Amino acid sequence: MRAAGAIASLILVAVTGLVGPPAQAAAPPGKPPVKRPVAEGYGGAVATVDLDASRAALEILKRGGNAMDAAIAAAATLGVTEPYSAGIAGGGFLLYYDARTRQVTTIDGRETAPRAMTSTALEGIPFDEAVTSGLSVGVPGTVALWDAGLRKHGTLPLREVLRPAIVTAERGFVVDQTFHDQTRQNADRFKDFTSTAALFLPGGEPPRVGSIFRNPDLARTYWELARRGPGWLYGGELGREIVATVKRPPVAPGATRVVRPGLMELSDLRSYRAIERPPTKVTYRGFEVYGMAPPSSGGAAVGEALSILEALPRVGLHEYLEASRLAFADRNAYVGDPAYVRVPLDGLLSDVYAKERACLIGPVAMPHPAAPGSPEGPHAGCPSPARSPAAGGKGERPEGPETTHLVVADRWGNVAAYTLTIEQTGGSGIVVPGRGILLNNELTDFTFGPAPGDPNLPGPGKRPRSSMAPTIVLKNGRPVLAVGSPGGATIITTVLQILVNRIDFGMPLPEAIAAPRASQRNLAATQAEPEFIERYGAELSALGHEFTVFPGPPAGEIGAATGLEFLGGGRVQAVAEPSRRGGGSALVVTPAPRR
């Protein structure tokens, strides 16, 4: 095994021209590198949760690649350094501002259900059992998204944009506290799969902080992908291996866990397509806010909440929570995969509907739960607040900081905002043997049922509803902001809160991102970070709001955002989290002197 691995690595080095044989090329162990959450300058900018990923994007930008090339380079590197959140066996959504056409487009690389998955396929299955199973593995969309993105907007071939990720996988990276903690949280299920334990629990333990973590299998997988193209996954040998793993997960001898097999066939991979979709759009205080359309509920819910806020005479935290509550009532009732259900998107984002919804917001918190409205009318002016049992109880499942969001701008003014995921931290927990990649468990985003009429029940080929909300804000057709975050359904509230912090409360972007968060998703009690409750709990409780500390994991921490602000004259500020999820990394091509 070792000899075969070494030979394959040498071939890899020879073919890609990567420096040195792997043993000498390994990164030196030591302290995890210092990440800076804010950078300002010219010529291109990036913010991700991870220094290696930000550096990968910067390298591509410096070599003349554009924002699309660099975004994919960063995403591929996150597949190495953030393998529990991102990877080619997952999916995601990308927004792209093309500076030449001044248009925002989106690519939907969401996973699909296999054709054999019916509306009742998840009924009665305990959620925890579905989480670690072949059954919840969706047909991966990430590689199709990269392929579509590079074809439409990129300037470099896939092998060039994968190169930094291949180097990082081969040489290794320094394990930080976040990687260590996430491995430890997953150890119980990782040990139940031979392939996963071998990769992520070397010697039976999570890798130590400061040690070097290498993933030569992944380096070879990327290299083969670059050489053979997306067809290697969508119908070829890698696809066959994925299907085999989904159908017969490599359960460790002696493991007692019930591991349900999946329904995926090679034909499901063959028929997978990334979809270019028009973005959602609302205008808010003179800005044009573009988001991700269904099957993500990100653009619909952020857009509806903003429109409601604009219809109000004043906007404070009370209004933010109430608008979010109303938008979630509608999101839960109406949003699903538009190829399977009719989503009243225009209605949800219309001003007339926003005015009607805004009428429900009074000086005190409205009764829980908020009922969905009638986005397509008839519009009856100001209805009285109503309760609907059907509207409550959803979104109560844990919403961790899984997933990852990145933003990139290039010297020409193109902008990419890209959220990608394998669903839960660690996805299904199942590594494809010999390939170094974790399979997603995205199909747990479906409503399990029974829930007659729910727009998000599973279906053959259907995409589960997402909350991912990559967002680009323009003014007069020019980029002003780009933001996004991980965090399941809290993604929507995090993005909304950052926009309100920046646009309404006038916070500079680093402050808007760092500020303590609260997430009201039509829940009885608003989930919040402890600092939010300390600062604003008393004044908001006096208005009838209830709070509970966000359960996590990790408890008390919501999201891990990244963003860009375009300051004019080509100057860009790149911003990541100062401390959530260990802090992120912002870099620019040419740093500006401090102002």
**Binding-site annotation, residues for L-glutamate:** 110, 445, 466-467, 488
DSSP letters spanning 375-411: TTS---SSPPP-B-GGGSSTT-S---S-SEEEEEEET
The span from the CA of 479 to the CA of 484, in Å, is 15
* Cis peptide bond N-terminal to 458, omega within 30: no
Binding to ligand GLU (CB under 6 A): which residues in 422-441? 423
CB neighbourhood size of 253 (10 A): 5
Nearer to ligand GLU, 216 or 401 (CB): 401
Smallest gap from residue 562 Cβ to ligand GLU (A)? 14
The verdict on 468 binding ligand GLU (CB under 6 A) reads: yes
Secondary structure (3-state) at 241 = helix
Annotated active-site residue 403? The verdict is yes
Which residue in 221, 72, 204 sits closest to 150, CA to CA? 72
Our finding on whether 46 is near ligand GLU (CB under 6 A) is no
Q: What is the DSSP letter of 90?
A: S
CB-wise, 469 or 515, nearer to ligand GLU? 469
Q: % helix / strand / coil in the chain, to the nearest 5?
A: 35, 20, 45
Please provide the distance, in angstroms rounded to a whole number, between the alpha carbons at the two ends of the chain: 56
Closest separation in Å from C-beta 500 to ligand GLU: 20
Contact between 406 and ligand GLU by CB under 6 A: the answer reads no
With CA atoms as reference, report the closest residue to 523 among 394, 335, 372, 401.
Answer: 394
Contact with ligand GLU (CB under 6 A): which of 138, 236, 336, 488? 488
Sole binder of ligand GLU in the list 176, 192, 445, 565 (CB under 6 A): 445
Q: Which stretch binds ligand GLU (CB under 6 A): 199-207, 340-348, 364-372, 464-472?
A: 464-472
Which part of the chain contacts ligand GLU (CB under 6 A), choosing from 57-65, 141-149, 395-403, 585-593? 395-403
Binding segment for ligand GLU (CB under 6 A), chosen from 9-17, 299-307, 481-489, 567-575, is 481-489
Backbone angles phi, psi at 93, to 5 degrees: -135, 140
Contact range with ligand GLU by CB under 6 A, out of 3-11, 162-170, 463-471, 519-527? 463-471
Token reading at 411: 């010297």
Query: Which burial class, exposed, middle or buried, applies to 490 when counting CB atoms under 10 A from its CB (0-12, 13-18, 19+)?
Result: buried
Q: Are 439 and 430 in contact (CB under 8 A)?
A: yes
Our finding on whether 466 is near ligand GLU (CB under 6 A) is yes
- Dist CA 217 CA 237 (whole Å): 15
Q: Which of 403, 404, 526, 562 is catalytic?
A: 403
Residue of 249, 294, 487, 584 interacting with ligand GLU (CB under 6 A): 487
What would the two tokens of residue 360 be? 């429900």
Cβ closest to ligand GLU, residue 93 vs residue 320: 93
| H/E segment holding residue 284 | strand 280-284
Q: Using alpha carbons, select from 362, 23, 426 the residue that is nearest to residue 189.
A: 426
**Strand stretches in 424-477, DSSP E:** 471-475
Nearer to ligand GLU among residue 154 and residue 488 (C-beta): 488
Q: Residue 468 or residue 588: which is nearer to ligand GLU going by CB?
A: 468
User: Which of 112, 196, 350, 467 touches ligand GLU by CB under 6 A?
Assistant: 467
Tokens of 377: 């009318």
Residue 467 Cβ, how far from ligand GLU at the closest point, in Å? 4
| By CB under 6 A, residue 293 contacts ligand GLU | no
CB-wise, 108 or 399, nearer to ligand GLU? 399
Residue 246 or 365: which CB sits closer to ligand GLU? 246
Q: Which of 249, 426, 455, 486 binds ligand GLU (CB under 6 A)?
A: 486
Binding flag, residue 142, ligand GLU (CB under 6 A): no
Active site residues: 403
Q: Could you list the residues that contact ligand GLU (CB under 6 A)? A: 399, 402-403, 421, 423, 442, 445, 466-468, 486-488, 491
